[in-house]
Structure 1
Amino acid sequence: MSLKHLLPIFVGVFALVAPLTASARDVTHAMGTTSVPDAPQRVVILTNEGTEALLSMGVTPVGAAQSWLGDPWYDHIAEQMQGVESLGKESAINLEMIAALEPDLILGNKARHEEIYAQLSDIAPTVLSERLRGDWQVNYRLYAEALGKTEEGNKVLADYEARIKDLSAKLGDNLKEKVSVIRFLASQTRIYQLDSFSGLTLKKLGFDRPANQNVEEFALRVGKESIPDMDGDRIVYFTYDDGDGAALQAEADYLADPIWLQLEAVKAGKVNKVDDVVWNTAGGVIAANLLLDDIARIYGVE
């Protein structure tokens, strides 16, 4: 048989083999080391903060964990997520739906997905991040590496750090305010400390914090007896309400309490309600930039 007749056969064989021999890289993550494609095309992301990471690097996932609030996405990312398959909440991922999407890379989190890691890995190369709170940039860098977009990711982070530096300079003496961060939920109230999404941002900017919040912990879980511990030069609060109104009622009860009304920040008129999604729940780079927007507005330094 001539070379001319063999050529279609070679081409056909190459087409079958090429996907199996596409270049790949080893990525070390919370569960070990995984070989991932150099340029993944069908990415599934199983955390809310990871979704924001992908979007910021110009990657639209084929499937993603549903936002904790929204139907199914947070308002601030809904437009970018059109056509993306919702795979259930972070803690209740639908494996069959993932398999049906035929991803070539799955990104998740050890705390959320360690128990299903083997099943995820049977579907596609799977990389799990380590952190679930605090410094979101650690996970961000891992996602960028897994996507083969380290350069793009570094640019996003550099732009964010530049914003931090610029806003910090504009805030000036405002940074001397001891900012207290409070979250109302239906079942408890939290006083947020440094190892939290909002706490990390305030620390980066250089804000002072009340003594009980100026520690490298996540949050104090308290009740009304701890209202005096919520005071500061300024109070910023947000409320996680899942639609039944219970958390909003808890917020109203606190804000009407006589002891709350005697807090120094309240009497000084330095209390600001902000969006729970932006200040806590979303946890990603897009929310982090929106949080900076909020601080600039609160202090009138836009």
Structure 2
Amino acid sequence: MIRTVIAAAAVATLVSGAAAAHEITHAMGVTDVPDNPQRIVVLTNEGTEALLAVGVVPVGAVESWKGNPWYDYLMPQMGEVTLLGTEGDPNLELIATLEPDLILGSKVRQEKIYEQLSAIAPTVLTETLGAVWQENLAVYAGAVGQAEAGEAVIAAFDTRAAAIRTALGEKASDTVSLVRISPARTRMYFKDSFPGVVIDAVGLARPATQDRQEFAEDLTRERIPELAADRIFYFSPDPNDAEAEANLSDWLQDPLWLGLDAVKAGSAQRVDDAIWVAAGGIFAANILLDDIEAAYGLASTR
């Protein structure tokens, strides 16, 4: 279900010359946005997924995290889109040449360049990324005049999650543990995270160690027993990264890991790190549902 939306949709209609506009209250204030923007720049992968989901193709977008330059599932729709750099370092000069009439992004990524972006075109920023992806989708959809389409996209996700919950039967009471194993830091993911929200939408429970309305917590190998659950989804950086794979191997061969009931039962699955952690959008959320169906041997609800 959609929680409180960060930014209200159109709350007033204005007229500036011949162009109608509406006010959007967002993380940086209030901005007059064209009612029917035609040239939209988006500065997060989450935002790109939101726009595509409501049938809007941006003129420019930043790359997906470790995409090439965008995730494979987005590439077929991105043929004419101009690449604008990364979320943390978008190319302002290139953005200006696109002559956008609306820029969408996130305060957590673009707060420092908000004034520069606003000098180019009306700019709407959500507060943050991750667990609030549904609220953010509603903001982006409203900003481009597709509020109803955004509501329909979220409703379809909720309906699909509910169908999976029903299909799980007695397994719907399973506990699910989430862990990202990385050379830099290994973390347990709690309920206030992107994968945590999707797991919660399906109705699966979390073990007591992760049943918290927080994002994540660093984990050492000595604390592996805290990952105990009926099922474990684990993710790790790029499988082509030798250091990451060696580190993951050390964790997966640790006696404490091998002693987990889920591991012994074959109920610990590796899933795509980029999709489960970094993508953060509606397309990724549906891929997470695909992975849950596959893990439980369910028929696809796509």
Partner of residue 116 from structure 1, selected from 108, 113, 116: 113
**Which residue number in structure 1 is paired with residue 196 of structure 2?**
199
Partner of residue 264 from structure 1, selected from 261, 264, 271: 261
TM-score (norm 2): 0.91
**Which residue number in structure 2 is paired with residue 134 of structure 1?**
131
Q: Partner amino acid for 1:38?
A: D
Q: Which stretches of structure 1, 4 residues or more, deviate above 6 A after TM superposition? A: none
**Which residue number in structure 1 is paired with residue 219 of structure 2?**
222
- Does the Cα contact within 8 Å between 1:107 and 1:126 map onto a contact in 2? yes
Q: Partner amino acid for 1:110?
A: K
Q: Partner amino acid for 1:152?
A: A
- SS of the counterpart of 1:79? helix
**Which residue number in structure 2 is paired with residue 42 of structure 1?**
39
- Separation in structure 1 between the aligned mates of residue 171 and residue 16 of structure 2, nearest angstrom: 57
Q: Does the alignment pair 1:21 with 2:18?
A: yes
Q: Does the alignment pair 1:253 with 2:250?
A: yes
**Which residue number in structure 1 is paired with residue 152 of structure 2?**
155
Q: Describe how 1:47-86 pairs up with structure 2 within 5 A.
A: 47-86=44-83
- Separation in structure 2 between the aligned mates of residue 81 and residue 246 of structure 1, nearest angstrom: 32
- Separation in structure 2 between the aligned mates of residue 85 and residue 282 of structure 1, nearest angstrom: 19
**Which residue number in structure 2 is paired with residue 14 of structure 1?**
none
TM-score (norm 1): 0.91
**Which residue number in structure 2 is paired with residue 7 of structure 1?**
none
- Separation in structure 2 between the aligned mates of residue 249 and residue 23 of structure 1, nearest angstrom: 57
- Does the Cα contact within 8 Å between 2:46 and 2:280 map onto a contact in 1? yes
Q: Partner amino acid for 2:85?
A: G
Q: Partner amino acid for 1:26?
A: E
Q: Does the alignment pair 1:100 with 2:97?
A: yes
**Which residue number in structure 1 is paired with residue 273 of structure 2?**
276
User: C-alpha root-mean-square deviation of aligned residues, in Å?
Assistant: 1.5
Aligned residues: 285
- Does the Cα contact within 8 Å between 1:171 and 1:299 map onto a contact in 2? yes
Q: Which has the larger share of helix? A: 1
- Does the Cα contact within 8 Å between 1:185 and 1:241 map onto a contact in 2? no
Q: How far 1:257 moved relative to its partner?
A: 1.4
Q: Which runs of 5+ in 1 are unaligned?
A: 1-17
Sequence identity (%): 51
Q: Does the alignment pair 1:181 with 2:200?
A: no
More moved, 83-92 vs 38-47? 83-92
Q: Considering only CA atoms, is the larger Rg found in Structure 1 or Structure 2?
A: 1
- Does the Cα contact within 8 Å between 1:44 and 1:105 map onto a contact in 2? yes
- Does the Cα contact within 8 Å between 2:102 and 2:121 map onto a contact in 1? yes
- Does the Cα contact within 8 Å between 1:95 and 1:120 map onto a contact in 2? yes
- Separation in structure 2 between the aligned mates of residue 244 and residue 94 of structure 1, nearest angstrom: 28
Q: Which runs of 5+ in 2 are unaligned?
A: 1-14
- Separation in structure 1 between the aligned mates of residue 198 and residue 37 of structure 2, nearest angstrom: 31
- Separation in structure 2 between the aligned mates of residue 41 and residue 171 of structure 1, nearest angstrom: 43
- Does the Cα contact within 8 Å between 1:28 and 1:34 map onto a contact in 2? yes
- Separation in structure 1 between the aligned mates of residue 286 and residue 75 of structure 2, nearest angstrom: 17
Q: After superposition, what is the alpha-carbon deviation per residue over 1:232-271, rounded to whole angstroms, capped at 9, x for unaligned?
A: 1111111122854322221111111122111111111111
Q: After superposition, what is the alpha-carbon deviation per residue over 1:24-72, rounded to whole angstroms, capped at 9, x for unaligned?
A: 1111111111111111111000011111000101111111111111211
- Separation in structure 1 between the aligned mates of residue 268 and residue 37 of structure 2, nearest angstrom: 46
